[in-house]
Structure 1
Amino acid sequence: MSSSDIFDVLNIQRTGSPGSSGATPAPSRTPKAQVSGMQRELYNLLGDNTPPVAIQKSTKFKDKLRAMAKPSPWTFAEFQPSPHVKLQHWVKGSKELVGQQPQTNTFGKYNTELTIPTFTKEEYDSFMGSTHEQIGSEKWEYSEIEGLFNLCRKYDLRWFVIQDRYEGKGGRTLEDIKEIFYYVCHQYFLMKSPDNPLVPSLNFSKEKEVERKKYLQRLLSRSAAEIAEEEALIVESKKFEMAAKRTSSERDSLLRLLDSPNADKPIGQFLTSQGMTQLYNSLLSDKSKKRKHDQVVPENPWMKQQQQFAQQKQQMQQLHDQKVSSSSNSNNNSNSNSNSQNAVKKTKKQKQEMQIAVKRKADSEYAEQLLKSFTADERKSMGVQLHGEKLPSGAYLRSTRISTFKAATQGKIATTLQELGLPARPAMPTYEVIRYHEALLSRINNLLDLKKQVDKLEAERDIKN
C-alpha cells in the first residue's frame, strides 16, 4: 500500500493539481528533518501542523458601562487643622454642601492638652504673697515663671525637653524647675479651691529626688563582684527566712501535739485497751501534727582520713623537695669534675626505668610514713594495706586471684583439701581468709614436692639394694 492509498482512505486531499491526484508527486529537493523515536510511516500520517485552537482577529473592546446613577461630586475644600495653618483636601459632596468656610479637622477632638493654670502678675502676687521673691535657695521672677509655664503647656510636662528649651537664668537644674512648678501650682490651687483632693499631691521634695538619682547612679555603677555578693546575700537571707518558717511550724505542731488530749478531761477513758487505741488513732489522724525528723548524715571517717593523708603527703613532698634541692646545691660543685669524667651514657629506656623506680620508692616512703600512726588493729579494721608492686587497673574479685598450679599438682592439692575438710575455694573470700588460704596452698605444694623427692629417693635405694 502506497502513501496515496492511505490519503484516499483517510479522505485527505493532497496539494497539487486535481488531475494529478493519482500520480506520484515529484520528490522535493529540500532535505527532510530526521525524526527519531517514531516510525516513518506514522510520522507521514501527521499531515500539516494545524493549531488546536482557532485564532480569530478582533478589535472589539470592553462594552461601555451602562449605569443609571450619577457619580457623586467631590470638592477640593479647605480645612484648618490649627489656628495658624490652612490646608486643602478632597471632600465628597458639592460646593453647596461643603460650604465656603474652611472646615475644622475631624481629628481635632483627639488633640487634648493638660490643664496647666494660667495667671497674671497680679494674681501671681496675690497667691504667692511674700514668697515669690525667693523659693527654696533660688530667686525666681514672674517672667521666668511665665516662660516656664508656657514651656510646660507646650511640651506637656516632658521635663527633659523643657529643661533643654529653658532659656531663663543659668544654672537651673531639672529638680529646681520641677520644684518651682509644683510649688506655684500648689499655691494657685490652694487659693482657687482649697478643698480639692489633688492639692496634697502637688508637693515635690527636691532633696528626695536628688537622693533617689544618686542611689540609682550608685546602683547602676556596681561592679560584677558587688552584684554577685548582693545575690549571695539575698540567697542567704531567703535561707534564713525558710529556716525561721520551718522552726515556727515545727514549734506550732509540737504545741498542738502537747495540747492533745486536753488535760482537763478525765483519763479514766484511756486506761482500757479500747481507750488507748482511740487515743493512738486520734494522735495519728491529723497529718499536720506529724513532725518530720531531720535526717542527720553521719560523718564518713574514711573520707576524713583520706583528707588527712593528702595533707600529710603534701607536707612530706615539700620537705623532700627542700632536702633534694639543698643536697644538690651543696654537692654540685664538688662532684662536677668527677661526674663529667666518669659519667656513663644511659639509654632512654634505662632512664625511664630509673625514674619509675625513684617514683615508686618515694611513694612507698610516703605510704610508710603515713601508716606509722596506725596500729595493726586499725589497719585491719579500715582495710589499709601497703602494696610494694604496682597494682593492676580496674576492680576484681579476690577469689579470682587465688594461685593455680599444674593440672597434676592441682588435682593432688584438691584431694588434700578434701581430706582436710576444706573447700577448693573459700566461701567468704576476705583479705585475711585469702591470705591464709594462699599460705595453706603454698605449704601443701611444698609438702607434695617433698613427698615426691622422698618417694624418688626410696625408689633409688630399693634399686641399689
Structure 2
Amino acid sequence: MNSDVRDILEIGEQNQPKQIKKKKSKRSAESIKRPQGVHREVWGLMSKDDPDQPPLIPAEEPQLYKHPKAKLRYGVRKWRWIEFKNPARTDSATFCHWRCANDDPDKEYPFAKYNKKAQLSTYTDSEYASYLKDDNWTKEETDYLFELCQVYDLRFFVVHDRWDAEKFQGKNRTIEELKDRYYKVTGMMQKIRGADDSKIYVFDPEHEKKRREQLEKLFNRTKEQVEEEIYLIEELKKIEVRKKEREKKQQEVSKLLTAAGDLENSKITNNNLKAKQIENKTVNALPKPSKLKQRKNSVNSNDGSISVVIGNRPSKSSQSEGLISPSSVTSSVPESKSSKKPIVFKPVSESTGIKFPDTKVSGVSLRSSRTKLPQSVGLKKIKAIEQLLDELQIEHKPIATETVCDNFNDLRSDIVLLYELQQAL
C-alpha cells in the first residue's frame, strides 16, 4: 500500500535502491545432433551459435553499390551516330541512326532485305497488238493499270482508289474489272512464254461479285438475325442427333428381328438333333449280334417239345411247334460308325434372349438347377418374365422334368426377346 502511495506522489524513488531481478539463463539454442558423415573433431571446431558456418575472424566488408554491377563478358562497346541510305528507296534520302563503332561503315542497311516487291509481267507493243487487244480496254488504260499495280504492290483496293478516271473521259472501273484485266494479261503473257497451264491463275469476276455481296450481307446483319441463325444452327444439331438415334434404333430392331429368325431355325435344328440322339440311343441299347453256336438239338418224341440252345444258355420253346422264344431273335441292324460314336447334342448358340449356362457337373445334381436364371439377366427383364408368366398362368418354378426344363427355358428366352423388341420400338 505504501509503495502505491509513493508511486502516486513520486516520493522516494531516487533514494530506494533498485531491485535487480535475476533472469534465468536459457539455452540460446537447442542442442543439435552431429550430422552423419561429419567427424567429431570437425563438429567440435564449428561454432555453436551457427553450426552451419565455421568460426572465422571478423573482417570488414568493403562498401559496395546498392545494386552490384553487371559482369559483362566483353567490354562496353562504343556507338556512333552516323548517316545511312536505304537501298530500297529510289529518292536517295539520307537518314541517321546509332551504329557500333566496330561495324563496317559501308555495310548495307539490314532492314532493306525485307522490302519485297511483286514481279509483274511486262509486254511490248508488238505483243500487245498480237495477243492483248480488248474492246473494253485501250492500251493507255492497260499501261496505267500495270503502272499502279507496280507502285502499290498489287493492292487492288488502293489501285481502285488511285484510279484517275478523268484521264480516260470519266470512265470509272470497278475492282473486279481491274482484277480481271490484270490477270487476263498476266495469264496470256505466261502462256506465250511457255508456262504450264496449271500454274496460270484464272480470275472469275462473277464469282468475286457474288462473294463480295455475300460478305456485305453477312456484315450488315442485325442482332436479331444473328440470334436467329444461332438458334437455327442449334436446332439443326438436335435434328441430326435425333436422326442418328433413330437410325441406331432401326439397326437394333433389324438385328433383333434377324436374331429372332435365327432363333426359330436353331430350335428346329435342336429338335432334329434331339431326335437323332434318341434314335442313336435306341440303336445302342439293342444287344450286339453274336454267332449262334448250336451245341445240342434234342427232340423228345414223347412230348413233342423242341429245345434250342443259343450260346451257352438253352431256352425251351412253347408246346406248339413253330414258336421261337424272343431271346432267339437277333437284330438284323448292322453295326455302324454311329453306333460306336454316338452324336452328342450341342445347343446352337443364341445371339439374343437368355443364354443358360451348362449345368454338367460331376456327381449328383438337381435338374431344377437348369431353370435357374443367369446373373447377366437384369431386374427389369426378370420382372417382365414374372409378369408375363402370371398372365399366362404358368408357375414360376414348375416340376423340373427334362422336357419341362427345356420348354420353360425356351419360353423365358422368347419373353426376353419380346421385351427387347418392345424396348427397341
Q: Which category describes the TM-score, using the shorter chain as reference length?
A: 0.3 to 0.5
Q: Larger RCO: Structure 1 or Structure 2 (Cα < 8 Å, ≥ 6 residues apart)?
A: 2
User: Structure 1 or 2: larger helix share?
Assistant: 1
What TM-score, normalized to structure 1?
0.38
TM-score by length of 2: 0.41
